[in-house]
Amino acid sequence: MSAPAINALRDQIATLGQSLFDRGLTMGSSGNISVRLEDGGWLMTPTNACLGRLDPARISRLDRDGRLLDGDKPTKEHFLHTAMYQERPQSGAIVHLHSAHSVAVSCLPDVDPCDCIPPLTAYYVMRVGRLPLVPYHIPGDPGLGDAVRGLAGRHSAVLLANHGPVVAGKSLEAAVYATEELEETARLYLLLRGQNPRGLSPEQVAELEARFPRD
């Protein structure tokens, strides 16, 4: 991959990171973003960086073995990102946020750990699908990578208990769109709690999955 192409990806991470941060989808220095490179390595946001103020030149570049090639020290969740990529060869980017409504759902005592949010809307099914809950781990625990590895082959998005969403997409733009859709649907789910909302039927979900296959 040429240096200009890698620099364009660095710029895109900074632009979309700022967009997410400016809309309050993650706070402070929370969240991290990565993009897979053609040589098998990755760009990852540095640890303790604010997604709203990323310097493209300081974004970490790792080789296929996870060694830092340039930029600052990568996110402490690099284990989590690389585990998800290993299970999802079709995915080109991953976004992890502390988006409030998704985090709120991740703290509820009664969510279905196999699927935390019901299929309320068509777009949610098209972009996210079934959302499993990953048991709580301390941030940066390599065990989080192992826990995600068992799920990521079948799910492009997972919800870390008492923490937040991790969403993969074919491209960075696709991963950001899916993360936004997840956050909006988490908000709807919380708005509708206690009202026995009518979700989509299994037949309606199956039709959407056949017509609009996810990555």
Ligand X SMILES: O=C(O)[C@@H](O)C(=O)COP(=O)(O)O
Q: Scanning the structure block, which residue is given the tokens 């990521």? A: 152
- Give CA separation, 2 vs 9, 13, 14, 173, in Å: 11, 17, 19, 20
Q: Pick from 77, 181, 183, 184: which binds ligand X (CB under 6 A)? A: 77
What does the alpha-carbon distance between residue 74 and residue 59 come to, in Å, rounded to a whole number?
Answer: 8
Residue from 87, 123, 136, 207 carrying the catalytic annotation: 123
Mark the segment that binds ligand X (CB under 6 A) among 5-13, 70-78, 129-137, 180-188: 70-78
Count the site residues for ligand X by CB under 6 A. Answer: 12
Residues in region 134-153 near ligand X by CB under 6 A: 139
| Residue 183 makes contact with ligand X by CB under 6 A | no
Phi-psi group of 71: left, alpha or beta (phi > 0 → left; psi -120 to 50 → alpha; rest → beta):
left
Between 29 and 121, CB nearer to ligand X: 29
| Residue 48 makes contact with ligand X by CB under 6 A | yes
Residues in region 11-40 near ligand X by CB under 6 A: 29-32
Q: Is the dihedral of CA 167, 139, 110, 188 positive or negative?
A: negative
Burial of 85 (0-12, 13-18, 19+ CB in 10 A): buried
**Nearest 5°: CA angle at 87, between 174 and 45?**
55
Is 123 designated active site? yes
Binding mask 82-121 for ligand X (x = CB under 6 A): --------------x-x-----------------------
Between 139 and 199, CB nearer to ligand X: 139
Q: Is 96 helix (H, G, I), strand (E, B) or coil?
A: strand
Of 70, 68, 102, 97, nearest to 82 (Cα)? 68
Q: Kindly state the smallest distance separating residue 138's Cβ from ligand X, in Å.
A: 9
Dihedral (C-alpha) 142, 144, 145, 151: value to the nearest 10 degrees? 160
Between 59 and 205, CB nearer to ligand X: 59
Between 45 and 185, CB nearer to ligand X: 45
| Residue 156 makes contact with ligand X by CB under 6 A | no
Residues that bind ligand X (CB under 6 A): 29-32, 47-48, 75-77, 96, 98, 139
Q: Which amino acids are annotated catalytic?
A: 77, 123
